[in-house]
Amino acid sequence: MAFHFTEACYVEKVWFAAWEDTDWMAIVYRETADAPWSAMYRFRYYTSGVADPFADDRKSWYRLDGTKVTDDARIALIDAMDFVGEATVAARGAKLWVVNVQGNGLKAIKCLEEQPWFFSKRVSREEMDTVSPPDGLGKGNK
């Protein structure tokens, strides 16, 4: 599973934190410019004991589906992810990275590539079907 960034989606903000054997990543986004706001986050548990970005580690995915396209809905989801991120790092003494994207998936990739913790991998359409998050970002945007 993975986060998918496409030209059609709109990414507001991305969060990331890592500690000894786990990392956490979150995103507030819309599938398309006129879709409701949603948030998705996941914990990745390093099964090999190392932070290999392409390892087959165990992940737990969570999704908050919005029903509105309003600024209030966007702000509520950002506040929720800020809270989860801050609570997660406070309990572990980790650093919380926050990337304000405010653009499509291509801009998100460009912003994230500037981060020391970000790794990306291009996949074919067939491979993308095998790594999709549950009803996740990029659904229908192949």
What digits encode the pLDDT tens for the residues 8-32?
Answer: 899 999 999 999 889 999 999 999 8
pLDDT level of residue 65 (50, 70, 90 thresholds): confident
- For the chain, the C-alpha Rg in angstroms (whole number) is 14
DSSP letter for each residue of the chain: ------SS-EEEEEEEEEETTEEEEEEEEESSTTSPPEEEEEEEE-SSSS--TTS--EEEEEEEE----SHHHHHHHHHHHHHHHHHHHHHHTPPPEEEEEEEEHHHHHHHHHTSTT-------HHHHHHSPPTT-TTTT--
- 55 compared with 132, residue with greater pLDDT: 55
Model-level pTM? Answer: 0.81
Give the start-to-end residue ranges of the domains of the chain.
Answer: 10-107+119-130
Residue 28 is predicted with a pLDDT of: 95
